[in-house]
Structure 1
Amino acid sequence: MIHFEPITDDEPELVHSPMLKAALLTLGYIEANGPIGLTPLKALKRYFVAWAAEAFDWPHYTAAELYDMNKVLNEPDFPPLMILHDVLLSAKLVRHYKGAMQVTKQGKQLKSHPAVLWIVLATHLLCVLDHGQYTRYGDQLDGDWGILLGVINQEAQVAVTKERLCAALFGVSEKEMLRDYRLTGTLYIHVLRPLCWAGLLEEQRNGRGLERTRHFVKTPLWAAALPIARANDEAAPTRH
């Protein structure tokens, strides 16, 4: 489990969390429009997926980018919404009832307390949800969050690649990691993407297709919410 520093509802660094923004928009949508319809497979219906793609404006998953690849949007076509759906259910902020997704009493209460809501969302996103279900082979990553965050805290003071992070975590060379797509992909799905979606890291993408590069850097929310940041941020990252 990860320990988070207490933060206030008016903490400006919360703006870095796309998951918090999306959760507040979703809870607000239900409050204003009523429960969101579900398909027979318990996915959110297309009308809400289309609305969410526009409203969330999720980094690297904007409506324009999604419609470049899909004529219509189903929930699996919008991965951040699919995982938000799972997080909201896991945290008991919503429930499925009579073919629709409804807000629970806890969801209504936390909507007015974004700092507490963020901690609940981040805890379930990072520590409760099984991200193996979002990988092709159900890959798991054995690792302690204390160690993972300690390494990332040092390495991501400047923009760093997932290969560099894997090399630092597992004691191998970056060159070797460039060929180990499965391990770097597992680190991305289980650690880096959740940290980005929680708002603790920022993913910077350049290029397209096989030429695309990805770098990760800590956001100001990292320093505000994680005690480890205060202990180690004065040290410069070591490069080999």
Structure 2
Amino acid sequence: MKIERLPAWSLLSRTSLDALLASQGGAAPETIAIQPSVTDIDVGTVPLLATTRLLIERAQVCGGLTLTATGALSRADTRAIFDVMSWPGYDKAHVLVMNKVLNEADVMPVEATRLIAQTAKLLRRRDLRLLATKKAQALLAEGQTADLFRLLFEIVFWRINLGYFDRVPVEQWPQNHIGIVLWCLSVAAQDWSTPAEMVPVCTVPDEALEDGPADFPGFAFLSRVLQPLTWFGLMELRLIGEESQPEWRRERQYRKTTLYDRVLHFDVEVMRPRGFSH
């Protein structure tokens, strides 16, 4: 008989579950404290911060980034950032094989970073130029890395729709209960696991997923939770299988990094599991 793993959130009190869902105005719930310290954050190990800095610094040096008529970055700016960026689980060599020229839509890390930076009001549009704001200049100053981390983290998980990047036809899940997901990962992601293995433990089921392909939940969890957490250095990835195979064909496993518990703090009530006392 197969024994199903119980969702980690079943250990939380109803009050704590409600508190983890209580986001207002695009901010994290009050029960989640995002508290990176300056000593915690090495920009080189936080890809989203590093790539955001690259965009802002290029905008400052070049008098702005050039935009296309649709608001995307120009090929020249896209390629310049692509060449110097580093992004977890992103095979740059494969991208170059598949694309003779690089449009912004061909380079997800650049497109995502640009959208996030604009949402954060670090870059602003003026005609067909994207300019660095005073807010960006302030957050790039020495000693402001933790504030930049906190700002981008809230925007990624509570203000933008991460489903935009994967096109899975189930909007918002599991981002609509991301506070619960993040707590579940804090207690259940110590060991290497696949996205599909994490889904029943760390998410609340959605009936809409039952009508789609069997791999929809795992793929959505990967693209909307695990991969974005690697952008912040909070999850790490390993690839299983022959190294001679392309990365996209190898199994992906994830676990939380030591930074996860140093940055995210949860004020929740864990109920004692029911059962016999010994």
Band the TM-score falls in, shorter-chain normalisation? 0.7 to 0.9
Offset at residue 96 of structure 1 (A)? 1.0
Offset at residue 160 of structure 1 (A)? 1.1
Q: How many pairs are equivalent?
A: 226
User: Which of these residues, 245, 252, 264, is aligned with residue 226 of structure 1?
Assistant: 264
Distance between the aligned counterparts of 2:81 and 2:248, measured in 1? 29
Distance 1:170 1:76, change over 3 A: same
Corresponding letter in the other structure for 2:160: L
Offset at residue 201 of structure 1 (A)? 0.9
Q: 1:214 and 2:252 equivalent?
A: yes
Q: 1:126 and 2:157 equivalent?
A: yes
Q: 1:164 and 2:197 equivalent?
A: yes
Show the counterpart of 2:214: 180
Q: 1:55 and 2:84 equivalent?
A: yes
Question: TM-score of the superposition, structure 1-length normalised?
Answer: 0.84
Offset at residue 210 of structure 1 (A)? 7.2
Distance between the aligned counterparts of 1:171 and 1:10, measured in 2? 35
Q: 1:201 and 2:230 equivalent?
A: no
Distance between the aligned counterparts of 2:130 and 2:265, measured in 1? 35
Distance between the aligned counterparts of 1:147 and 1:75, measured in 2? 33
Corresponding letter in the other structure for 2:251: T
Offset at residue 33 of structure 1 (A)? 2.1
Distance 1:206 1:24, change over 3 A: same
Q: Percent identity?
A: 25
Corresponding letter in the other structure for 1:18: P
**Structure label with greater radius of gyration:** 2
Distance 1:135 1:28, change over 3 A: same
Distance between the aligned counterparts of 1:220 and 1:14, measured in 2? 15
Show the counterpart of 1:236: none
Matches within 5 A, 1:17-166: 17-112=46-141, 113-140=144-171, 141-142=173-174, 143-166=176-199
Give 1 or 2: higher helix fraction.
Answer: 1
Matched residue SS, 2:81: helix
**Cα deviation digits, residues 1-34 of structure 1 (max 9, x gap):** 2534433334345543100010111111112222
Distance between the aligned counterparts of 1:203 and 1:209, measured in 2? 12
Show the counterpart of 1:237: none
Check whether the contact 2:239–2:247 (CA below 8 A) recurs between aligned residues. Answer: no
Distance 1:138 1:109, change over 3 A: farther
Distance between the aligned counterparts of 2:91 and 2:247, measured in 1? 17
Check whether the contact 1:7–1:224 (CA below 8 A) recurs between aligned residues. Answer: yes
Show the counterpart of 2:224: 190
Offset at residue 84 of structure 1 (A)? 0.8
Offset at residue 224 of structure 1 (A)? 1.8
Unaligned runs of 5+ in 2: 1-27, 271-278
Check whether the contact 2:36–2:149 (CA below 8 A) recurs between aligned residues. Answer: no
**Cα deviation digits, residues 37-73 of structure 1 (max 9, x gap):** 0011111011111111111122233542321221111
